[in-house]
Structure 1
Amino acid sequence: MNKKFSRKALRETGQGYTFMFPALIVLGLFIIGPIFYTIFLSFHKVQLLGNATFDFVAFDNFKRILEDTRAKIALWNTFKYVVIVVPCQTFLALILAATLNAGLKGQTFFRIVYFLPTLTSSAVLTLIFMWMYNKDGLINNILDFIGLPTYNFLGDPAIALNAIMFMNIWSTAPFFMVIYLAALQDIPESLYEAAKLDGANVLQRFWKITVPNLRPVTSFVVIMGIIGTFQLFDQSYIFSAGSGGPDNSTLTVVLLVYQYAFKTLGTMGYAAALAFLLAFVILVATLLQRKFSKEESLY
Protein backbone atom coordinates (compact mmCIF):
# COMPACT_ATOMS: atom_id res chain seq x y z
CA MET A 1 0.00 0.00 0.00
CA ASN A 2 2.77 2.40 0.96
CA LYS A 3 4.71 1.48 -2.18
CA LYS A 4 1.66 2.09 -4.35
CA PHE A 5 1.00 5.36 -2.57
CA SER A 6 4.62 6.45 -3.05
CA ARG A 7 4.45 5.74 -6.76
CA LYS A 8 1.25 7.74 -7.05
CA ALA A 9 2.75 10.67 -5.10
CA LEU A 10 5.91 10.53 -7.21
CA ARG A 11 3.87 10.49 -10.42
CA GLU A 12 1.75 13.45 -9.30
CA THR A 13 4.87 15.35 -8.26
CA GLY A 14 6.45 14.70 -11.65
CA GLN A 15 3.32 15.88 -13.42
CA GLY A 16 3.29 19.03 -11.31
CA TYR A 17 6.88 19.89 -12.14
CA THR A 18 6.22 19.13 -15.80
CA PHE A 19 3.48 21.76 -15.89
CA MET A 20 5.69 24.17 -13.93
CA PHE A 21 8.72 23.63 -16.18
CA PRO A 22 7.97 26.43 -18.73
CA ALA A 23 7.39 28.93 -15.92
CA LEU A 24 10.56 27.79 -14.14
CA ILE A 25 12.56 28.29 -17.35
CA VAL A 26 11.26 31.85 -17.70
CA LEU A 27 11.86 32.51 -13.98
CA GLY A 28 15.41 31.23 -14.23
CA LEU A 29 16.32 33.07 -17.43
CA PHE A 30 14.81 36.45 -16.64
CA ILE A 31 14.84 36.72 -12.82
CA ILE A 32 17.07 34.28 -10.95
CA GLY A 33 19.80 34.23 -13.60
CA PRO A 34 20.15 38.04 -13.84
CA ILE A 35 20.19 38.31 -10.03
CA PHE A 36 23.17 35.98 -9.70
CA TYR A 37 24.86 37.57 -12.72
CA THR A 38 24.47 41.01 -11.10
CA ILE A 39 26.05 39.70 -7.91
CA PHE A 40 28.90 38.26 -9.98
CA LEU A 41 29.46 41.56 -11.81
CA SER A 42 29.43 43.57 -8.57
CA PHE A 43 32.68 41.90 -7.50
CA HIS A 44 34.45 42.52 -10.81
CA LYS A 45 35.76 45.33 -12.94
CA VAL A 46 34.02 44.69 -16.23
CA GLN A 47 35.06 45.65 -19.74
CA LEU A 48 32.48 44.54 -22.31
CA LEU A 49 33.80 46.19 -25.46
CA GLY A 50 36.10 44.13 -27.66
CA ASN A 51 37.28 41.09 -25.76
CA ALA A 52 35.14 41.07 -22.61
CA THR A 53 37.22 41.01 -19.42
CA PHE A 54 36.16 40.39 -15.82
CA ASP A 55 38.82 41.37 -13.29
CA PHE A 56 38.01 40.31 -9.72
CA VAL A 57 38.20 43.34 -7.38
CA ALA A 58 36.49 41.89 -4.29
CA PHE A 59 34.64 44.67 -2.42
CA ASP A 60 36.25 47.60 -4.22
CA ASN A 61 33.04 48.49 -6.06
CA PHE A 62 31.14 48.66 -2.78
CA LYS A 63 33.88 50.75 -1.16
CA ARG A 64 33.68 53.12 -4.10
CA ILE A 65 30.02 53.82 -3.28
CA LEU A 66 31.10 55.35 0.04
CA GLU A 67 33.41 57.75 -1.82
CA ASP A 68 31.04 58.59 -4.70
CA THR A 69 29.38 61.97 -4.12
CA ARG A 70 26.78 61.39 -6.84
CA ALA A 71 25.85 58.04 -5.29
CA LYS A 72 25.21 59.75 -1.95
CA ILE A 73 23.07 62.40 -3.66
CA ALA A 74 21.12 59.71 -5.53
CA LEU A 75 20.53 57.74 -2.33
CA TRP A 76 19.34 60.87 -0.52
CA ASN A 77 17.03 61.90 -3.37
CA THR A 78 15.58 58.40 -3.55
CA PHE A 79 15.10 58.21 0.22
CA LYS A 80 13.40 61.59 0.31
CA TYR A 81 11.18 60.60 -2.58
CA VAL A 82 10.10 57.37 -0.83
CA VAL A 83 9.44 59.03 2.53
CA ILE A 84 7.18 61.67 0.99
CA VAL A 85 5.44 59.81 -1.86
CA VAL A 86 4.51 56.55 -0.09
CA PRO A 87 2.53 58.11 2.81
CA CYS A 88 0.90 60.69 0.54
CA GLN A 89 -0.22 58.23 -2.13
CA THR A 90 -1.45 55.79 0.52
CA PHE A 91 -3.45 58.44 2.37
CA LEU A 92 -4.89 59.89 -0.85
CA ALA A 93 -5.85 56.43 -2.11
CA LEU A 94 -7.62 55.65 1.16
CA ILE A 95 -9.54 58.93 1.18
CA LEU A 96 -10.60 58.53 -2.46
CA ALA A 97 -11.71 54.94 -1.86
CA ALA A 98 -13.70 55.82 1.25
CA THR A 99 -15.35 58.73 -0.57
CA LEU A 100 -16.29 56.65 -3.62
CA ASN A 101 -17.59 53.89 -1.35
CA ALA A 102 -19.95 56.21 0.51
CA GLY A 103 -22.84 55.69 -1.89
CA LEU A 104 -22.60 59.05 -3.64
CA LYS A 105 -24.46 59.65 -6.89
CA GLY A 106 -22.38 59.01 -9.99
CA GLN A 107 -19.69 57.10 -8.06
CA THR A 108 -19.22 54.62 -10.93
CA PHE A 109 -18.38 57.51 -13.27
CA PHE A 110 -15.90 59.00 -10.80
CA ARG A 111 -14.27 55.62 -10.21
CA ILE A 112 -13.58 55.35 -13.93
CA VAL A 113 -12.32 58.95 -14.18
CA TYR A 114 -9.99 58.59 -11.17
CA PHE A 115 -8.57 55.31 -12.51
CA LEU A 116 -7.74 56.68 -15.98
CA PRO A 117 -4.24 57.97 -15.03
CA THR A 118 -3.26 54.43 -14.10
CA LEU A 119 -4.08 53.23 -17.60
CA THR A 120 -1.91 55.88 -19.23
CA SER A 121 1.73 55.22 -20.07
CA SER A 122 4.17 56.63 -17.52
CA ALA A 123 6.22 58.22 -20.31
CA VAL A 124 3.14 59.91 -21.78
CA LEU A 125 2.09 61.22 -18.37
CA THR A 126 5.58 62.59 -17.79
CA LEU A 127 5.57 64.42 -21.13
CA ILE A 128 2.14 65.91 -20.34
CA PHE A 129 3.33 67.14 -16.95
CA MET A 130 6.50 68.55 -18.52
CA TRP A 131 4.27 70.63 -20.79
CA MET A 132 2.24 71.74 -17.76
CA TYR A 133 5.41 72.51 -15.76
CA ASN A 134 7.01 74.51 -18.58
CA LYS A 135 7.78 78.20 -17.97
CA ASP A 136 4.95 79.06 -20.36
CA GLY A 137 2.92 75.97 -19.45
CA LEU A 138 -0.56 75.56 -18.04
CA ILE A 139 0.35 75.77 -14.34
CA ASN A 140 2.41 78.97 -14.65
CA ASN A 141 -0.28 80.54 -16.86
CA ILE A 142 -2.88 79.85 -14.17
CA LEU A 143 -0.60 81.19 -11.42
CA ASP A 144 0.11 84.31 -13.45
CA PHE A 145 -3.61 84.79 -14.19
CA ILE A 146 -4.58 84.79 -10.50
CA GLY A 147 -1.63 87.01 -9.56
CA LEU A 148 0.62 84.43 -7.90
CA PRO A 149 4.37 84.04 -8.60
CA THR A 150 5.39 81.57 -11.30
CA TYR A 151 8.06 78.89 -10.93
CA ASN A 152 10.72 77.20 -13.03
CA PHE A 153 9.55 73.68 -12.17
CA LEU A 154 11.96 71.94 -14.53
CA GLY A 155 15.02 74.13 -13.99
CA ASP A 156 15.00 74.93 -10.26
CA PRO A 157 16.89 72.30 -8.19
CA ALA A 158 14.73 73.11 -5.17
CA ILE A 159 11.50 72.30 -7.03
CA ALA A 160 12.29 69.69 -9.71
CA LEU A 161 12.09 66.59 -7.49
CA ASN A 162 8.96 67.92 -5.79
CA ALA A 163 7.35 68.29 -9.22
CA ILE A 164 8.04 64.61 -9.93
CA MET A 165 6.65 63.69 -6.50
CA PHE A 166 3.39 65.52 -7.16
CA MET A 167 3.00 63.86 -10.55
CA ASN A 168 3.57 60.36 -9.16
CA ILE A 169 1.27 60.82 -6.17
CA TRP A 170 -1.48 61.94 -8.54
CA SER A 171 -0.90 59.09 -11.01
CA THR A 172 -0.33 56.15 -8.61
CA ALA A 173 -2.96 56.86 -5.93
CA PRO A 174 -5.85 55.70 -8.20
CA PHE A 175 -4.30 52.23 -8.56
CA PHE A 176 -4.16 51.77 -4.79
CA MET A 177 -7.61 53.35 -4.54
CA VAL A 178 -9.05 50.39 -6.46
CA ILE A 179 -7.35 47.98 -4.03
CA TYR A 180 -8.85 49.85 -1.08
CA LEU A 181 -12.26 49.88 -2.76
CA ALA A 182 -12.19 46.10 -3.05
CA ALA A 183 -11.19 45.76 0.61
CA LEU A 184 -13.92 48.13 1.78
CA GLN A 185 -16.52 45.77 0.33
CA ASP A 186 -15.39 43.09 2.81
CA ILE A 187 -15.96 45.15 5.95
CA PRO A 188 -19.29 44.00 7.49
CA GLU A 189 -21.96 46.68 7.30
CA SER A 190 -23.14 45.58 10.73
CA LEU A 191 -20.07 47.23 12.28
CA TYR A 192 -21.08 50.62 10.89
CA GLU A 193 -24.71 50.13 11.90
CA ALA A 194 -23.70 49.28 15.46
CA ALA A 195 -21.45 52.35 15.58
CA LYS A 196 -24.31 54.56 14.35
CA LEU A 197 -26.53 53.22 17.12
CA ASP A 198 -23.80 54.12 19.61
CA GLY A 199 -23.79 57.69 18.27
CA ALA A 200 -20.51 57.60 16.33
CA ASN A 201 -20.23 60.24 13.60
CA VAL A 202 -18.72 59.79 10.13
CA LEU A 203 -15.12 60.59 11.17
CA GLN A 204 -15.33 58.37 14.23
CA ARG A 205 -16.60 55.44 12.14
CA PHE A 206 -13.80 56.04 9.65
CA TRP A 207 -10.99 56.09 12.22
CA LYS A 208 -12.40 53.40 14.54
CA ILE A 209 -13.78 50.93 12.00
CA THR A 210 -12.54 51.57 8.44
CA VAL A 211 -8.87 52.29 9.11
CA PRO A 212 -8.25 49.44 11.61
CA ASN A 213 -10.00 46.87 9.41
CA LEU A 214 -7.91 47.90 6.41
CA ARG A 215 -4.60 47.17 8.14
CA PRO A 216 -3.68 44.14 5.96
CA VAL A 217 -4.47 46.08 2.79
CA THR A 218 -2.61 49.16 4.00
CA SER A 219 0.43 47.01 4.73
CA PHE A 220 0.28 45.63 1.18
CA VAL A 221 -0.17 49.10 -0.33
CA VAL A 222 2.77 50.50 1.64
CA ILE A 223 5.04 47.60 0.67
CA MET A 224 4.15 47.95 -3.01
CA GLY A 225 4.64 51.71 -2.72
CA ILE A 226 8.08 51.29 -1.15
CA ILE A 227 9.21 48.87 -3.85
CA GLY A 228 7.89 51.08 -6.64
CA THR A 229 9.22 54.41 -5.37
CA PHE A 230 12.72 53.06 -4.70
CA GLN A 231 12.85 52.11 -8.39
CA LEU A 232 12.03 55.57 -9.74
CA PHE A 233 13.65 55.90 -13.15
CA ASP A 234 11.56 56.80 -16.19
CA GLN A 235 10.09 60.06 -14.88
CA SER A 236 13.46 61.27 -13.65
CA TYR A 237 15.11 60.24 -16.91
CA ILE A 238 12.55 62.06 -19.08
CA PHE A 239 12.43 65.17 -16.89
CA SER A 240 16.21 65.59 -16.96
CA ALA A 241 16.97 64.06 -20.38
CA GLY A 242 18.93 61.35 -18.58
CA SER A 243 21.24 63.67 -16.64
CA GLY A 244 19.51 63.72 -13.25
CA GLY A 245 19.54 67.51 -13.32
CA PRO A 246 19.20 70.28 -12.63
CA ASP A 247 22.22 70.08 -10.36
CA ASN A 248 21.59 66.36 -9.63
CA SER A 249 18.29 67.24 -7.94
CA THR A 250 16.36 64.50 -9.79
CA LEU A 251 19.17 61.94 -9.76
CA THR A 252 17.94 58.61 -8.37
CA VAL A 253 19.77 55.36 -7.68
CA VAL A 254 18.25 53.55 -10.66
CA LEU A 255 19.08 56.45 -12.98
CA LEU A 256 22.66 56.45 -11.65
CA VAL A 257 22.87 52.69 -12.25
CA TYR A 258 21.76 53.30 -15.84
CA GLN A 259 24.37 56.03 -16.32
CA TYR A 260 27.24 53.91 -15.01
CA ALA A 261 26.08 50.77 -16.84
CA PHE A 262 25.39 52.24 -20.29
CA LYS A 263 26.86 55.75 -20.43
CA THR A 264 30.29 55.26 -18.86
CA LEU A 265 32.90 52.78 -20.09
CA GLY A 266 34.32 50.24 -17.67
CA THR A 267 31.84 50.83 -14.84
CA MET A 268 29.38 47.98 -15.40
CA GLY A 269 30.66 46.24 -12.26
CA TYR A 270 30.19 49.40 -10.20
CA ALA A 271 26.67 49.78 -11.60
CA ALA A 272 25.94 46.19 -10.55
CA ALA A 273 27.18 46.99 -7.03
CA LEU A 274 24.82 49.97 -6.86
CA ALA A 275 21.94 47.81 -8.09
CA PHE A 276 22.75 45.15 -5.49
CA LEU A 277 22.84 47.82 -2.77
CA LEU A 278 19.46 49.16 -3.88
CA ALA A 279 17.94 45.67 -3.80
CA PHE A 280 19.30 45.19 -0.28
CA VAL A 281 17.86 48.55 0.87
CA ILE A 282 14.44 47.67 -0.60
CA LEU A 283 14.53 44.28 1.14
CA VAL A 284 15.42 45.82 4.51
CA ALA A 285 12.78 48.56 4.17
CA THR A 286 10.12 45.98 3.28
CA LEU A 287 11.05 43.69 6.18
CA LEU A 288 11.02 46.60 8.63
CA GLN A 289 7.61 47.70 7.38
CA ARG A 290 6.22 44.19 7.86
CA LYS A 291 7.78 43.88 11.30
CA PHE A 292 6.35 47.11 12.70
CA SER A 293 2.96 47.11 10.95
CA LYS A 294 -0.12 45.45 12.38
CA GLU A 295 -1.72 43.42 9.62
CA GLU A 296 -4.60 41.89 11.58
CA SER A 297 -8.10 43.21 10.89
CA LEU A 298 -10.60 43.59 13.71
CA TYR A 299 -13.18 41.12 12.41
Structure 2
Amino acid sequence: MMRVQAGFLSSTAVCGRSASLKPSVCRASGSVFQTQRSYRRANLVRANLKTIDEGEQGTLEYRLAFQQDSKKVSPWHDVPLYANDEKTLVNYVNEIPKGTSAKMEIATEEANNPIKQDVKKGALRFYKYSDSLINYGALPQTWEDPNEKNEDTGCNGDNDPVDVIEISADAKPMGAVYAVKPFGILALLDEGETDWKVLAIDAADPNAEKINSVEDANEIYPGLVDKVTDWFRMYKTAEGKGENEYAFGGKAKDTAFTMRIIAETHDSYNKLKAGAIPNEDLSLN
Protein backbone atom coordinates (compact mmCIF):
# COMPACT_ATOMS: atom_id res chain seq x y z
CA MET A 1 0.00 0.00 0.00
CA MET A 2 1.28 3.45 -0.87
CA ARG A 3 -0.20 6.64 0.51
CA VAL A 4 1.15 10.10 -0.18
CA GLN A 5 0.74 12.93 2.28
CA ALA A 6 2.06 16.44 2.53
CA GLY A 7 5.30 16.60 4.46
CA PHE A 8 6.44 19.18 6.98
CA LEU A 9 9.04 21.40 5.49
CA SER A 10 12.21 22.76 6.85
CA SER A 11 12.78 25.59 9.06
CA THR A 12 9.80 27.52 8.52
CA ALA A 13 7.11 25.18 7.78
CA VAL A 14 6.02 27.02 10.91
CA CYS A 15 3.38 29.08 9.14
CA GLY A 16 0.32 27.00 9.70
CA ARG A 17 2.39 24.02 8.56
CA SER A 18 1.37 24.92 5.03
CA ALA A 19 3.02 23.62 1.89
CA SER A 20 3.85 27.18 0.89
CA LEU A 21 6.99 28.80 2.20
CA LYS A 22 6.71 32.53 1.53
CA PRO A 23 8.52 34.89 3.90
CA SER A 24 6.25 37.77 2.98
CA VAL A 25 3.22 36.03 4.43
CA CYS A 26 4.78 33.90 7.17
CA ARG A 27 4.94 35.02 10.75
CA ALA A 28 6.37 33.32 13.80
CA SER A 29 7.26 34.23 17.34
CA GLY A 30 10.67 35.73 17.97
CA SER A 31 12.92 37.86 15.82
CA VAL A 32 14.63 34.99 14.01
CA PHE A 33 11.99 34.95 11.27
CA GLN A 34 11.68 38.69 10.72
CA THR A 35 13.96 39.15 7.73
CA GLN A 36 14.33 37.70 4.27
CA ARG A 37 17.83 36.62 5.24
CA SER A 38 16.43 34.35 7.92
CA TYR A 39 14.58 32.32 5.31
CA ARG A 40 17.34 31.93 2.73
CA ARG A 41 18.75 28.73 4.13
CA ALA A 42 15.32 27.29 4.89
CA ASN A 43 14.22 27.73 1.30
CA LEU A 44 16.84 25.22 0.21
CA VAL A 45 14.26 22.63 1.13
CA ARG A 46 11.36 23.09 -1.28
CA ALA A 47 7.83 23.34 -0.07
CA ASN A 48 6.61 20.28 -1.98
CA LEU A 49 8.39 17.77 0.23
CA LYS A 50 6.06 14.83 0.81
CA THR A 51 6.12 11.64 2.82
CA ILE A 52 4.98 8.37 1.29
CA ASP A 53 3.75 5.34 3.21
CA GLU A 54 5.15 2.20 1.61
CA GLY A 55 3.65 -1.01 2.94
CA GLU A 56 1.53 -1.37 6.03
CA GLN A 57 2.48 0.22 9.32
CA GLY A 58 3.26 -2.35 11.96
CA THR A 59 5.00 -4.69 9.52
CA LEU A 60 8.65 -5.42 8.86
CA GLU A 61 8.27 -4.09 5.33
CA TYR A 62 6.83 -0.67 6.21
CA ARG A 63 8.81 2.40 5.17
CA LEU A 64 8.01 6.11 5.34
CA ALA A 65 9.79 7.52 2.30
CA PHE A 66 10.42 11.17 1.41
CA GLN A 67 9.69 12.66 -1.99
CA GLN A 68 10.42 16.01 -3.61
CA ASP A 69 9.55 17.02 -7.18
CA SER A 70 8.33 13.43 -7.81
CA LYS A 71 11.75 12.09 -6.82
CA LYS A 72 12.70 10.21 -3.69
CA VAL A 73 15.02 12.15 -1.39
CA SER A 74 16.80 11.46 1.87
CA PRO A 75 15.78 13.12 5.15
CA TRP A 76 19.37 12.63 6.29
CA HIS A 77 21.22 14.01 3.26
CA ASP A 78 18.80 16.31 1.42
CA VAL A 79 17.53 18.44 4.31
CA PRO A 80 20.05 21.12 5.35
CA LEU A 81 21.16 21.13 8.97
CA TYR A 82 20.89 24.83 9.71
CA ALA A 83 17.53 26.55 9.40
CA ASN A 84 18.72 30.16 9.44
CA ASP A 85 21.86 32.04 8.50
CA GLU A 86 22.63 32.83 12.13
CA LYS A 87 22.83 29.07 12.85
CA THR A 88 20.68 29.44 15.94
CA LEU A 89 18.00 27.11 14.56
CA VAL A 90 18.40 23.65 13.08
CA ASN A 91 16.13 21.48 10.98
CA TYR A 92 14.75 18.40 12.66
CA VAL A 93 13.24 15.14 11.38
CA ASN A 94 10.59 13.67 13.68
CA GLU A 95 10.88 9.89 13.96
CA ILE A 96 8.83 9.01 17.06
CA PRO A 97 5.77 11.17 17.79
CA LYS A 98 5.07 12.08 21.39
CA GLY A 99 2.78 9.55 23.06
CA THR A 100 3.71 6.60 20.84
CA SER A 101 5.83 3.52 21.49
CA ALA A 102 6.93 2.16 18.09
CA LYS A 103 10.70 2.62 17.85
CA MET A 104 10.95 4.33 14.48
CA GLU A 105 14.26 5.51 13.02
CA ILE A 106 15.91 6.82 9.87
CA ALA A 107 17.24 3.79 8.00
CA THR A 108 20.80 4.99 7.51
CA GLU A 109 21.79 1.81 5.69
CA GLU A 110 19.02 1.96 3.05
CA ALA A 111 18.88 4.01 -0.15
CA ASN A 112 17.25 7.41 0.42
CA ASN A 113 17.10 6.64 4.16
CA PRO A 114 13.37 6.17 4.75
CA ILE A 115 11.99 5.91 8.27
CA LYS A 116 11.39 2.33 9.40
CA GLN A 117 10.64 0.53 12.64
CA ASP A 118 13.68 -0.86 14.41
CA VAL A 119 13.94 -4.64 14.48
CA LYS A 120 15.62 -6.95 16.98
CA LYS A 121 15.83 -10.71 16.46
CA GLY A 122 13.25 -10.47 13.70
CA ALA A 123 10.67 -8.64 15.82
CA LEU A 124 9.53 -5.03 15.61
CA ARG A 125 10.75 -2.96 18.54
CA PHE A 126 8.52 -0.94 20.86
CA TYR A 127 9.30 1.01 24.00
CA LYS A 128 8.25 -1.25 26.87
CA TYR A 129 8.95 1.27 29.63
CA SER A 130 6.26 3.73 28.51
CA ASP A 131 5.18 5.73 25.50
CA SER A 132 7.56 8.50 24.48
CA LEU A 133 7.26 11.60 26.67
CA ILE A 134 8.39 13.85 23.84
CA ASN A 135 8.73 14.10 20.07
CA TYR A 136 11.94 12.28 19.26
CA GLY A 137 14.02 12.37 16.12
CA ALA A 138 17.28 13.38 14.49
CA LEU A 139 19.29 16.21 13.00
CA PRO A 140 19.95 15.92 9.25
CA GLN A 141 23.53 16.10 8.01
CA THR A 142 25.03 15.08 11.36
CA TRP A 143 26.87 11.88 12.26
CA GLU A 144 28.48 10.54 15.42
CA ASP A 145 31.76 8.99 14.28
CA PRO A 146 32.28 5.48 15.73
CA ASN A 147 35.96 5.62 14.80
CA GLU A 148 36.77 8.64 16.94
CA LYS A 149 36.76 8.97 20.72
CA ASN A 150 34.93 12.08 21.82
CA GLU A 151 37.18 14.21 24.01
CA ASP A 152 34.28 15.28 26.22
CA THR A 153 32.84 11.84 26.97
CA GLY A 154 35.79 9.53 26.37
CA CYS A 155 33.63 7.26 24.20
CA ASN A 156 33.32 6.77 20.46
CA GLY A 157 30.22 7.83 18.54
CA ASP A 158 27.26 5.55 17.87
CA ASN A 159 27.33 5.69 14.03
CA ASP A 160 24.01 7.57 13.81
CA PRO A 161 22.73 11.09 13.21
CA VAL A 162 22.43 13.18 16.38
CA ASP A 163 19.23 12.52 18.34
CA VAL A 164 16.84 15.28 19.37
CA ILE A 165 14.43 15.51 22.30
CA GLU A 166 11.81 18.01 21.13
CA ILE A 167 9.75 19.21 24.10
CA SER A 168 6.88 21.19 22.58
CA ALA A 169 3.44 20.24 23.88
CA ASP A 170 1.96 18.99 20.60
CA ALA A 171 2.63 15.56 19.16
CA LYS A 172 4.08 15.96 15.66
CA PRO A 173 3.55 13.45 12.84
CA MET A 174 6.20 10.92 11.99
CA GLY A 175 8.30 12.36 9.17
CA ALA A 176 7.57 15.97 10.08
CA VAL A 177 10.52 18.23 9.19
CA TYR A 178 10.65 21.59 10.93
CA ALA A 179 12.96 24.06 12.63
CA VAL A 180 13.83 23.64 16.28
CA LYS A 181 15.71 25.80 18.74
CA PRO A 182 18.40 23.90 20.70
CA PHE A 183 18.89 24.90 24.34
CA GLY A 184 20.90 22.04 25.85
CA ILE A 185 22.32 18.57 25.33
CA LEU A 186 22.58 15.30 27.25
CA ALA A 187 25.45 12.84 26.77
CA LEU A 188 23.95 9.37 27.07
CA LEU A 189 26.52 6.57 27.16
CA ASP A 190 24.74 3.67 25.49
CA GLU A 191 26.68 0.42 25.76
CA GLY A 192 29.94 2.35 25.79
CA GLU A 193 29.08 4.65 22.89
CA THR A 194 28.42 8.39 22.94
CA ASP A 195 24.78 9.05 22.09
CA TRP A 196 24.19 12.80 22.14
CA LYS A 197 20.62 13.95 22.73
CA VAL A 198 19.95 17.57 21.86
CA LEU A 199 17.26 19.29 23.91
CA ALA A 200 15.20 21.55 21.66
CA ILE A 201 11.81 23.12 21.10
CA ASP A 202 9.82 23.70 17.93
CA ALA A 203 10.81 27.18 16.73
CA ALA A 204 7.13 27.91 16.05
CA ASP A 205 6.06 27.06 19.59
CA PRO A 206 4.76 30.08 21.52
CA ASN A 207 7.31 29.35 24.26
CA ALA A 208 10.32 29.09 21.96
CA GLU A 209 11.26 32.75 22.30
CA LYS A 210 11.37 32.37 26.09
CA ILE A 211 13.58 29.27 26.17
CA ASN A 212 17.30 29.89 25.77
CA SER A 213 18.61 27.48 28.41
CA VAL A 214 17.71 24.40 30.41
CA GLU A 215 16.86 26.73 33.29
CA ASP A 216 14.34 28.53 31.09
CA ALA A 217 12.82 25.21 30.03
CA ASN A 218 12.48 24.18 33.67
CA GLU A 219 10.56 27.35 34.45
CA ILE A 220 8.07 26.82 31.64
CA TYR A 221 7.89 23.02 31.77
CA PRO A 222 8.71 22.21 35.42
CA GLY A 223 10.33 18.83 35.84
CA LEU A 224 10.18 17.82 32.18
CA VAL A 225 13.93 17.78 31.47
CA ASP A 226 14.55 15.71 34.61
CA LYS A 227 11.75 13.30 33.67
CA VAL A 228 13.13 12.82 30.18
CA THR A 229 16.67 12.40 31.51
CA ASP A 230 15.46 9.73 33.91
CA TRP A 231 13.37 8.08 31.18
CA PHE A 232 16.37 7.55 28.93
CA ARG A 233 18.35 6.27 31.90
CA MET A 234 15.69 3.71 32.82
CA TYR A 235 13.80 2.67 29.69
CA LYS A 236 15.91 -0.40 28.90
CA THR A 237 15.24 -1.83 32.36
CA ALA A 238 11.80 -2.82 31.05
CA GLU A 239 13.66 -5.13 28.64
CA GLY A 240 15.61 -6.76 31.45
CA LYS A 241 18.74 -4.67 30.88
CA GLY A 242 20.62 -2.38 33.24
CA GLU A 243 20.30 1.37 33.51
CA ASN A 244 21.94 3.59 30.91
CA GLU A 245 24.68 5.94 32.03
CA TYR A 246 25.36 9.59 31.31
CA ALA A 247 28.48 11.68 31.09
CA PHE A 248 28.61 14.88 33.17
CA GLY A 249 26.64 13.27 35.98
CA GLY A 250 23.50 13.26 33.87
CA LYS A 251 23.40 17.05 33.74
CA ALA A 252 22.56 18.82 30.50
CA LYS A 253 25.23 21.08 29.02
CA ASP A 254 24.45 24.64 27.97
CA THR A 255 23.46 26.06 24.59
CA ALA A 256 26.98 27.08 23.55
CA PHE A 257 28.25 23.56 24.22
CA THR A 258 25.26 22.15 22.35
CA MET A 259 25.92 24.20 19.24
CA ARG A 260 29.58 23.14 19.31
CA ILE A 261 28.62 19.47 19.35
CA ILE A 262 26.15 20.04 16.51
CA ALA A 263 28.87 21.75 14.47
CA GLU A 264 31.39 18.98 15.21
CA THR A 265 28.99 16.21 14.19
CA HIS A 266 28.11 18.18 11.05
CA ASP A 267 31.82 18.30 10.24
CA SER A 268 32.07 14.53 10.79
CA TYR A 269 29.10 14.04 8.48
CA ASN A 270 30.69 16.16 5.76
CA LYS A 271 33.90 14.11 5.99
CA LEU A 272 31.88 10.90 5.78
CA LYS A 273 29.93 12.15 2.77
CA ALA A 274 33.14 13.27 1.02
CA GLY A 275 34.68 9.82 1.45
CA ALA A 276 37.36 10.96 3.89
CA ILE A 277 36.11 8.41 6.43
CA PRO A 278 35.78 4.73 5.45
CA ASN A 279 32.20 3.50 5.15
CA GLU A 280 30.79 0.08 4.33
CA ASP A 281 27.25 0.03 5.69
CA LEU A 282 25.73 3.51 5.44
CA SER A 283 23.80 4.69 2.39
CA LEU A 284 25.11 8.13 1.47
CA ASN A 285 23.00 8.82 -1.63
TM over 0.5: no
TM-score category (smaller protein)? under 0.3
Pair member with larger Rg: 1
TM-score (norm 1): 0.22
Structure that is richer in strand per residue: 2
Structure that is richer in helix per residue: 1
TM-score (norm 2): 0.23
